[in-house]
């Protein structure tokens, strides 16, 4: 009773390609269709069962499903139930998986009986699954679950939702939502585009500052480099009369340091130790509430987690002359002629900014 079937491609997309999405196909999805077509299933995982499973499947069933995943992925199929009319050659009732989209594609498995087969893995990104029953002996049918994995030649990330070439790792371009392609090992081993950064460091001692300036995390504003500890020490040069200006620093450009991944610690110190300290994290930051006055040094340190999940930051600093009113909280400097005698209050408008004193 075995025969050849021509399956016409009647395409119905059951689900889009979204991370963690599961699809389920049963008797109402692709079985007993008058046109002999197959049901198209997409996603990262799913389940398929025979009509009415676990009840007896109907006679004269002709069912077909085509699973399609993204290029670079393959399909792993696991059997969790099997009870189909027994025949040594599975001529009457059977369940078959073909390694491709056509009925002529190589068979990965053709099964019947009630012994669960070993898992099946496709060579490419689609399989054709068929189930057929004749008009006599039946059973409870089958149940399978399927999932995707990346081809062995590719790098897997996002729980196999993304498969990339080895050449796309450590290239300072984020291709994976979970950032595994740009992790701390890229810097530690000096891989790809990180080779030049491995010994570049992210620390410096900037002394005798006489004018405005900036510093930023490596690769800013794309994303900060995981595993690269940053530490800067800023100190101003004395005026001609020996007095020191105040250093005012601010994060006025796009700012992104996830609080779950670390924070920036800003402190001022003198010969007796730390005078003041604050930490900043979040998605945006304005002027920092700190300034280095006469005889003080400003220190900025940043030790992020092993995964880059933010764009980092750029610090802009300026000098406030000794005779002026320095307002570190707002990053403003008021000369004597301005008539301003007290610093304005800081108004924080960014809900995502975490700031602790």
Contact predicate 50/61, CB 8 Å: yes
Contact predicate 25/41, CB 8 Å: yes
Statement to judge: residues 211 and 142 lie in one domain: no
State the pairing for strand pair 273-281/354-356.
antiparallel
Over residues 136-162, the pLDDT tens digits come to 888 999 999 999 999 999 999 998 899
Within-domain flag for 304:
yes
Q: How far apart are CA 97 and CA 65, in angstroms?
A: 10
Residue 349 has pLDDT above 90, yes or no: no
Q: Higher pLDDT residue, 48 or 279?
A: 48
Statement to judge: residues 214 and 326 lie in one domain: yes
Statement to judge: residues 220 and 295 lie in one domain: yes
Phi, psi (degrees; rounded to nearest 5) at 155: -90, 135
State the pairing for strand pair 22-25/45-49.
parallel
Q: How far apart are CA 151 and CA 334, in angstroms?
A: 63
Statement to judge: residues 34 and 118 lie in one domain: yes
Distances from the Cα of 163 to the Cαs of 167, 175, 176, 275, 307, in angstroms?
12, 9, 9, 50, 18
Statement to judge: residues 247 and 320 lie in one domain: yes
Over residues 320-333, the pLDDT tens digits come to 998 899 887 777 89
User: How many separate domains does the chain show?
Assistant: 2
| pLDDT given for residue 351 in this prediction | 33
Phi, psi (degrees; rounded to nearest 5) at 338: -75, -20
List the domain range (segments joined by +) for residue 32: 22-150
CATH number where 301 lies: 2.60.120.290
Over residues 49-80, the pLDDT tens digits come to 999 899 999 998 889 999 999 999 999 999 99
Q: What letter would DSSP give residue 257? A: B
Confidence of residue 31 (pLDDT cuts 50, 70, 90): low
Contact predicate 82/110, CB 8 Å: no
Contact predicate 225/183, CB 8 Å: no
Within-domain flag for 26:
yes
Q: Which pTM does this prediction carry?
A: 0.65
Nearest to 204, CA basis, from 218, 192, 215: 215
Place of tokens 């499947």: 57
Within-domain flag for 353:
no
Contact predicate 88/107, CB 8 Å: no
Q: How far apart are CA 240 and CA 45, in angstroms?
A: 72
| pLDDT given for residue 279 in this prediction | 84
Within-domain flag for 352:
no
What stretch of H or E contains 206?
A: strand 203-209
């Amino acid at each position: 009773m075995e025969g050849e079937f021509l399956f016409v491609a009647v395409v119905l997309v059951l689900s889009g390609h979204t991370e963690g999405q599961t699809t389920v196909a049963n008797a109402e999805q692709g079985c007993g269709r008058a046109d002999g077509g197959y049901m198209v299933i997409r996603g990262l995982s799913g389940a398929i069962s025979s009509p009415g499973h676990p009840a007896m499947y109907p006679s004269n069933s002709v069912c077909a499903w085509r699973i399609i995943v993204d290029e670079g992925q393959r399909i792993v199929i696991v059997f969790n139930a099997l009870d189909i009319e027994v025949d040594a050659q599975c001529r009457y009732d059977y369940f078959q998986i073909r390694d491709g989209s056509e009925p002529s594609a190589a068979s990965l498995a053709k099964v019947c009986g009630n012994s669960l087969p070993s898992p099946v893995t496709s060579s490419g990104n689609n399989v054709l699954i068929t189930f057929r029953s004749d008009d006599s002996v039946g059973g409870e049918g089958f149940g399978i679950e399927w999932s995707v994995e990346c081809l062995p030649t590719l790098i897997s990330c996002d729980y196999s939702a993304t498969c990339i070439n080895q050449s796309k790792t450590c290239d300072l371009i984020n291709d994976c939502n979970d950032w595994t392609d740009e992790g701390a090992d890229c810097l530690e081993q000096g891989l790809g585009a990180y080779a030049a950064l491995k010994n570049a460091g992210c620390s410096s001692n900037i002394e005798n500052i006489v004018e405005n300036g900036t510093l930023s995390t490596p690769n800013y504003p794309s994303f900060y480099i995981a595993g690269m500890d940053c530490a800067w020490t800023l100190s101003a040069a004395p005026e001609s009369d020996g007095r020191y200006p105040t250093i005012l620093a601010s994060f006025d450009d796009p700012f992104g340091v996830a609080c779950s991944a670390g924070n920036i610690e800003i402190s001022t110190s003198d010969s007796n130790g730390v005078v003041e300290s604050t930490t900043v994290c979040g998605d945006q930051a304005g002027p920092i509430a700190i300034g280095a006055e006469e005889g003080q040094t400003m220190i900025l340190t940043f030790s992020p987690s092993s995964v880059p999940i933010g764009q980092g930051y750029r610090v802009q600093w300026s000098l406030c002359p000794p005779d002026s009113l320095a307002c570190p909280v707002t990053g403003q400097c008021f000369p004597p002629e301005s008539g301003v005698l007290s610093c304005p209050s800081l108004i924080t408008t960014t809900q995502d900014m975490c700031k602790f004193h």
